[in-house]
Structure 1
């Protein structure tokens, strides 16, 4: 289409938007850098509306082991009314694949009151899944998507964006050099964030007030996006749920070794031609070849197998994460964990913890601690065992021993790294504020379903349903207290996105959440009974001291 005709078409489309706004609270057709898009306008209760845009491309079809490129654009009006497929990944059988390489799309929810919204804060969601699975919409049950942004957007009066990024070998395989540097999934995320920064003003958003948030590998991705120099001036705030850059499963230390294992599986040589060969392999074949072993034992915990992950590449991550916190000095940061985040992983390493009948031996505890403190030898084990058995007494119950295994995995995989990240952020911050939380709503399947013990706390991912308002959108399967937890989390999260202060932003909260500082380490415990006693300090300080001070100071006897 000639430039003059294109311009005329866009002017007419803009006039159509104006006419539509007169009769309904809707953005109508929106002009983006790639072209015109039209979503769906939904009428809610109390005469409120929300515009939903599904499947807007933020980048072109990705090249194999290449950074994402800007989308070339399209003619006419793109009907953004259908979610796109998730990025290519293993299916539930772990032997086949699902999804597509063509997956760099995002979804947008824009709430409106009595008039079309302008200048709204923006919340960009990055999903988890261990860098090998997941999707922009999350689990779908009867067309009820976990990451549906409607409740968060309309109750918090913020724009919500969810995005897709490459996973598995296509997103994170690395040869450890310039042939296949890696981090392609992180570059996809960054491209989406940058697209939002450039285009969200057309959707009624404030490009200077973008909050990124995510959980597990998504929370770690959020952390890494604040640390890379490539996002300078784009991100205003960030929320990491159960995952930060400092987690031991986030940075792959020996990516070349795994890349060679994948190459051998697909009959590629492991010499100077390896990268060229891998680029020719069918994407599904390559994805299956990159399968990670998810079976563990007390002597070889699953965390040791989580090798398909980000790398220090000298570009996206120019240095180890702990050396990059100066890049987040002006970013407000909120982070926390679930009180039994490690339960899922401990059940892979010590399966008896899931069974109220099977015995978990003290020897299992010692074997697990031996594996996690391996490089420090006997002194590391002795210190770890003394720390975790200090409150046992002479004859600990089976519940006590099982909970200890879960606590060890929770601490090692999530809680201690998150506390470390909070210390680093607070210590490096200039204008950026820091907030810490512990989520402790017990999993409702505890003692009811097999593999969910009676003493269950908040398992990994249990927080997601509350942040995305599932007790509010599907109330029949939730209790009144679940609804309250969801309302409170939405209030804290969206207040924070608006102002950098979870207590201030238009929604009332049950108690004032104080900032985390390196002097008092204050945090908020989030559950069904949030009150003044929920504000606490020095979260698991003795365990933090062991993992971050005592253990590192011991001499190494072997390398990891």
Structure 2
């Protein structure tokens, strides 16, 4: 009986300790904030602070300004609206101009966490609806911070000169990272161990943050998932053309650029946002402004030499885009022909003229044989878009990082888990953004929607990513991983194939080097 009573008392003490591991009110530079505690398991909680401002309400096409602060305690228990953007169907807008907020997820055990590594997430075009940020924080034992920043017309419109220099969204990200560095110690984080990571447009943003001279000493590591600064869609090459197109849409029909800018600044933000929907969204991006991005991204990798870098793509990142360009690839009975492939290549290589089409076609059809099966041709269409838009630029960025690295490490991966999206053909692997559900722990958060193999994959990714954030090495940092992931160097190019059955054979070399060499050498010299 006495032993039973002692066990009960011990359990009560432990439970009380578990409940006691809570930050409560936290002092930031702008004022006091109080979040809420989410129980993850018997002895694990995550403190969540939603909607913490890192800057004031931004002026239209102005750099972010410091927040004026507040009196009393701010209850940080509600997500704030995203920055003004078009909805998925692009028929209306959502969000607000008052949007420069971040969310902080702090894992806690029996005692308050201190000196934790911090992972700062910059979202991409594939918005992570219902993200399980608390699962990544808990299972990785890292602080996760998600950042709102201006996008679309209000984030990146530019005239290509001082009138509208552009890159406001990048300045927002920079302001958020700077705020986190100054304040995260109060939440139990290590300000000298920040990792920025992102997917798609967010991954390209991570890349640009690394390349900017303003980032020196600001963070320590970076992860790009399906996008880099060298991606053909990441940089806006003719910003004034796009700006004039948007000006026409909102009725600013001025031939004088100064008058056009004045008119745009007086235009309704919602109309401006709608004017920047998908037909120009893919080219409404970052610009070489001579300031945050002082010159061509390929010439700025000396600035990235200080950061540990992990980057990769999904094996069929280009599938969605290929399905738009050549719809027959997803139609079971639809026949995709050599003419479709030539037409796709004509669109992608138009800057090089007609000579590029037969050159690229011969590279991608060399394995077809005389009568290629339709599925082989369909997969080739996806491979072309994946290589051109994602794989080749990422391999270039990894190589440049390794070439310039001054002691920092470089890692390459290919995520190729079979798609979970219903209705696609059997040959389809990992589509754009399908990696996010695993990294953010959705198979653990909603277990009935997933199988055990999905939870295996999710734990592998969380372990590799959080180890990397902790130490700069995905293999060490407290979380067990299935196999060692070797570094990518100047002359040695291994990559890890990531799926639910990672083994020694998952470490491979020279990812699609035949195609990388074609685009970076042969095609470039045409």
For residue 21 of structure 1, report the CA deviation from its aligned partner.
8.9
For residue 422 of structure 1, report the CA deviation from its aligned partner.
0.2
The alignment status of 1:465 with 2:431, answered yes or no, reads no
Choose from 444, 463, 467 the match for 1:491: 463
For residue 42 of structure 1, report the CA deviation from its aligned partner.
2.1
For residue 374 of structure 1, report the CA deviation from its aligned partner.
2.3
Deviation by residue 1:456-486 (Cα, 9 ceiling, x = unmatched) = 1000000000000001111111011100000
The alignment status of 1:151 with 2:135, answered yes or no, reads yes
For residue 292 of structure 1, report the CA deviation from its aligned partner.
2.9
Choose from 59, 84, 87 the match for 1:91: 87
Whole-Å Cα distance in 1 between the matches of residues 113 and 352 of structure 2? 57
Cα 1:260–1:98 shift into 2, 3 Å: same
Partner of 2:347: 371
Choose from 280, 291, 300 the match for 1:324: 300
Deviation by residue 1:254-277 (Cα, 9 ceiling, x = unmatched) = 000010111112221231211111
Normalising by structure 2, we get a TM-score of 0.95
Choose from 250, 255, 258 the match for 1:270: 255
Matches within 5 A, 1:47-446: 47-129=43-125, 134=127, 138-139=128-129, 145-146=130-131, 148-268=132-252, 269-271=254-256, 272-293=258-279, 306-445=282-421
Matches within 5 A, 1:521-532: 521-532=493-504
For residue 95 of structure 1, report the CA deviation from its aligned partner.
2.7
Cα 1:23–1:510 shift into 2, 3 Å: closer
DSSP-derived class of the 2:489 partner: coil
Higher alpha-carbon deviation: 369-378 or 67-76 = 369-378
Partner of 2:8: none
DSSP-derived class of the 1:273 partner: helix
Whole-Å Cα distance in 1 between the matches of residues 278 and 48 of structure 2? 36
Whole-Å Cα distance in 2 between the matches of residues 357 and 274 of structure 1? 50
Deviation by residue 1:224-275 (Cα, 9 ceiling, x = unmatched) = 1111111110110000000111100000000000101111122212312111
Deviation by residue 1:122-173 (Cα, 9 ceiling, x = unmatched) = 00000001xxx84xxx31xxxxx12x31111111110000010111110011
Whole-Å Cα distance in 1 between the matches of residues 88 and 360 of structure 2? 36
Cα 1:213–1:23 shift into 2, 3 Å: closer
DSSP-derived class of the 2:158 partner: coil
Deviation by residue 1:381-408 (Cα, 9 ceiling, x = unmatched) = 2221111011111110000000000000
Whole-Å Cα distance in 2 between the matches of residues 346 and 381 of structure 1? 17
Partner of 2:513: 541
| 2:18–2:109 CA contact under 8 A, matched in 1 | no
For residue 22 of structure 1, report the CA deviation from its aligned partner.
11
Q: Which 5+ residue runs of structure 1 have no aligned equivalent?
A: 1-19, 140-144, 295-304, 555-560
| 1:169–1:308 CA contact under 8 A, matched in 2 | yes
| 2:20–2:110 CA contact under 8 A, matched in 1 | no
Whole-Å Cα distance in 1 between the matches of residues 233 and 290 of structure 2? 19
DSSP-derived class of the 2:380 partner: helix
For residue 97 of structure 1, report the CA deviation from its aligned partner.
1.0
Partner of 1:9: none
| 2:113–2:188 CA contact under 8 A, matched in 1 | yes
For residue 378 of structure 1, report the CA deviation from its aligned partner.
4.0
| 1:21–1:27 CA contact under 8 A, matched in 2 | no
| 2:18–2:42 CA contact under 8 A, matched in 1 | no
Cα 1:406–1:22 shift into 2, 3 Å: closer
Deviation by residue 1:415-459 (Cα, 9 ceiling, x = unmatched) = 0000000001000100210000000001023xx42xx22211000
DSSP-derived class of the 2:278 partner: coil
Partner of 1:514: 486
Cα 1:228–1:21 shift into 2, 3 Å: farther
| 2:18–2:110 CA contact under 8 A, matched in 1 | no
Cα 1:87–1:21 shift into 2, 3 Å: farther
| 1:239–1:335 CA contact under 8 A, matched in 2 | yes
DSSP-derived class of the 1:109 partner: strand
Partner of 2:3: none
Partner of 2:524: 552
Whole-Å Cα distance in 2 between the matches of residues 339 and 93 of structure 1? 26
Whole-Å Cα distance in 2 between the matches of residues 502 and 108 of structure 1? 23
| 1:328–1:432 CA contact under 8 A, matched in 2 | no
DSSP-derived class of the 2:110 partner: coil
| 1:356–1:454 CA contact under 8 A, matched in 2 | no
For residue 46 of structure 1, report the CA deviation from its aligned partner.
3.3
Higher alpha-carbon deviation: 148-157 or 489-498 = 148-157
For residue 379 of structure 1, report the CA deviation from its aligned partner.
3.4
| 1:171–1:184 CA contact under 8 A, matched in 2 | yes
| 2:18–2:43 CA contact under 8 A, matched in 1 | no
Whole-Å Cα distance in 2 between the matches of residues 525 and 22 of structure 1? 38
DSSP-derived class of the 1:437 partner: strand
- Aligned-residue CA RMSD (Å): 1.4
Partner of 1:16: none
Higher alpha-carbon deviation: 163-172 or 41-50 = 41-50
Normalising by structure 1, we get a TM-score of 0.89
Whole-Å Cα distance in 2 between the matches of residues 283 and 92 of structure 1? 18
For residue 81 of structure 1, report the CA deviation from its aligned partner.
0.3
For residue 179 of structure 1, report the CA deviation from its aligned partner.
0.6
Higher alpha-carbon deviation: 367-376 or 219-228 = 367-376
DSSP-derived class of the 1:44 partner: strand
